[in-house]
Amino acid sequence: MLLRLREGARAAWDGVIANRSRSGLTIAGMVVGVAAIIVVVSIVQSLSQSITSSFDSLGTNTLSVRAYTSFDEQLRGITRRLTLSDHRAILGRVDGVEQVTPVLLPFGAYGTRVAAGGKTGFTRVYGVTPNYQDTFKVYTAQGRFVNAADEQAARKICVIGTKVRENLDLPGSPIGQFLRIGGDWYKIVGVMEEKGDVFGISQDDYVAIPFSAGEIAVADPGKLDLSITLSVADPDAIEDVQHRIVQVLRENRKLRPGDEDDFKVDTAKQLTQSFDRITGAIAGVAVGLVGISLLVAGIGIMNMMLTSVTERTREIGICKALGAQRGDILLQFLLEAVLLSLFGGLLGVLVGCGIDLIIPILVPQLPAIPIPVSAAVGSVVFVTAIGVLFGVIPAAQAANLDPIEALRHE
């Protein structure tokens, strides 16, 4: 058996080498498909890990509260918002909460124009409380953060991200400089630690001002929108606190029984799971589309092998006349198809991994992209299976040739 396998592999290799151009084009289709799968899976995994690490930094005892607008309401131009009334209701009526951290966007989700020293830019502006940095694990590299006195007096002070400092050409230590936000001047009291970019989006392009100052800066109080993060004193009671917050908000927002919640209360774990489902679906669709291209490449293998059988009909007849069995011919042509697929799969893995290593160099803003071992192994197994699947018909056709008719073939 080993001898037959060795001889079959040698004959298959000779067949691949004899048709270099055709074999190369067939392998190229496999290379592109496998490389595409690896790159897609790598990018999705990198994105997932980056977002997951952000959620993990919140801890297992935190809850996130945000407004939710259904798709139908969005089509009708309706936008749901969390209000200061909701914030006060949670503070006054929910027990077991250790810390409440509201975040206000006084100038909207897209930010506003800022200016300093003749330079202007556009950035997000957050209204935050002093416990914001402990809740989100972000701290100042220079100066200080918003404190209780700033919040109580609604002082016009701000803490900036490093990207804002760069965009406005502020000095290395801009503490004491003034920044124009909207129509008012704010004194810079701190610079946040640099967090870098995530897929080209800067995490350092923002300005933080006291929450109370943010309330004053809101142009239209009716459009004031909050997001709230809560720390629960007892992590084991997080589900009870979550349920209580839902009850309080439904009552405060005057929702009737049967009405859908127009807000979301999620734990960090639930946020991670939701994001994983989204990225998993995206990866599945992308890999499915690439898989179709691999099936097309498999059809290419079958066409090549059928052509090879036709061209080598007389050779097959000679082999059978000299005593080659049906199984020998079948094994030779099947191994030839598998070799084409296997080479294409392995080269595709190398190309895909090479692209994964090159992407962060070409685009420094992107985080390191992991090499997906499971996707690499799965891709090679898949393309090899395609080789077997699409190689069976040509191999069977070659094995079933009548030796007399084959010898007569011109």
| HSE toward the beta carbon, residue 49, CA cutoff 13 A | 13
What is the structure's pLDDT at 178? 93
Band (pLDDT 50/70/90 cuts) for residue 134 is confident
Give dist(CA 371, CA 356) in Å, integer: 7
Band (pLDDT 50/70/90 cuts) for residue 162 is very high
**Higher per-residue confidence, 236 vs 405:** 236
What is the structure's pLDDT at 366? 62
Per-residue pLDDT of 306-331, as tens digits, reads 666 665 556 656 665 656 566 666 66
**Placement of tokens 């050409």 in the chain:** 169
Give dist(CA 320, CA 302) in Å, integer: 23
Give dist(CA 394, CA 334) in Å, integer: 8
Band (pLDDT 50/70/90 cuts) for residue 156 is very high
What is the structure's pLDDT at 186? 95
Report which DSSP code applies to 179: E
Whether this prediction's pTM lies above 0.75 is answered by no
Over residues 380-409, the mean pLDDT reads: 66
Per-residue pLDDT of 5-44, as tens digits, reads 555 455 555 555 656 676 777 777 778 878 888 887 777 7
Give me the phi and psi of 121, to 5 degrees please.
-155, 180
What is the structure's pLDDT at 192? 93
- Residues contacting residue 125 through CB under 8 Å, at least 6 positions apart: 105, 106, 107, 111, 112, 114, 181, 206, 207, 208, 209, 214, 217
What is the structure's pLDDT at 148? 92
What is the structure's pLDDT at 144? 94
Q: Give the helix ranges, DSSP H, for 83-233.
A: 84-93, 132-136, 148-153, 162-167, 211-217
Which range has the top average pLDDT, 78-82, 290-294, 336-340?
78-82
Show the tokens assigned to 106.
């006084």
**Higher per-residue confidence, 348 vs 374:** 348
